[in-house]
Amino acid sequence: MDHNEQQETTHKPVKRKEMTRRQFLSYTLGGAGAFMAGGAILPMIRFAVDPILQKKEKSGFVKVIEESKVTNEPTEVKFKIHQVDGWYESDPKLAAWIAKSDDGKIYALSPVCKHLGCMVSWSGEEAPNEYHCPCHGARYTKDGKNLKVAPKPLDEYEVKTENGWVYLGPIEPNSRV
Ligand code: FES
């Protein structure tokens, strides 16, 4: 091969692979379709997971009784709370047994029996000065300690007092016994 022939072969223009009209159309339509589908689907996904993305606020306290009305004898109070669970909002009614301990501290017990969830009541004929559950006979002390049938003590509400009123917050495991 002489010098000229060699130059011809080395400087051959590179043949570019061109896009066919069919390819161009399918890329363009595919891209536009994906964009439109994304525009329709993304808001639906966002709507579906929205409650998960919401920042959870600690449930608030509810004003239930005047501080001066709380004595050493447990008193039953009933109140409503506002609950938001995903898109579902409700105002369930709750109850608590409020009393003062010997050191004057106010505390509130949940009336839900720790056996199978019936409502306990304070100091009936069957159980003087104790909480008693009518379903299967569980008994608890004034502090909520389980004496019979139930496997755990009664739960306790978080309590705060402000301007002469008692407020109840979330339910927690019993810290008194
Ligand atoms: S539910 Fe209270 S004793 Fe069974």
Position 140 confidence tier, pLDDT thresholds 50, 70, 90: very high
- Please state which of the ranges 17-21, 53-57, 67-71, 116-120 shows the lowest mean pLDDT: 53-57
148-160 pLDDT, tens digit per residue, is 999 999 999 999 9
Q: Which residue puts its alpha carbon closest to atom 3 of ligand 1?
A: 136
Mean pLDDT of 21-45: 84
Quick check: 21 pLDDT over 90? Answer: no
Q: Determine the distance separating the centroid of ligand 1 and the alpha carbon of 118, expressed in angstroms.
A: 6
- Testing ligand 1's pocket by substitution, the residue of 119, 126, 135 carrying the most ligand atoms inside 8 A of its CB is 135
The reported pLDDT for the residue numbered 46 is 74
The reported pLDDT for the residue numbered 2 is 53
Q: Determine the distance separating the centroid of ligand 1 and the alpha carbon of 119, expressed in angstroms.
A: 8
The reported pLDDT for the residue numbered 96 is 97
H or E element, residue 62: strand 62-66
Mean pLDDT of 23-38: 86
Q: Is 148 exposed, middle or buried (0-12, 13-18, 19+ CB in 10 A)?
A: middle
- The strand order across the sheet containing 131-132 reads 121-122, 131-132, 139-140, 146-148
Bridge partners for 161 per DSSP: 166
Mean pLDDT of 116-139: 94
Position 9 confidence tier, pLDDT thresholds 50, 70, 90: low
| Architecture of the 62-172 domain | 3-layer Sandwich (2.102)
Q: Is there an atom of ligand 1 within 6 Å of 77 CB?
A: no
The reported pLDDT for the residue numbered 52 is 63
Mean pLDDT of 147-175: 96
Q: Is 162 exposed, middle or buried (0-12, 13-18, 19+ CB in 10 A)?
A: exposed
CA 135/CA 62 separation, integer angstroms: 29
Quick check: 55 pLDDT over 70? Answer: no
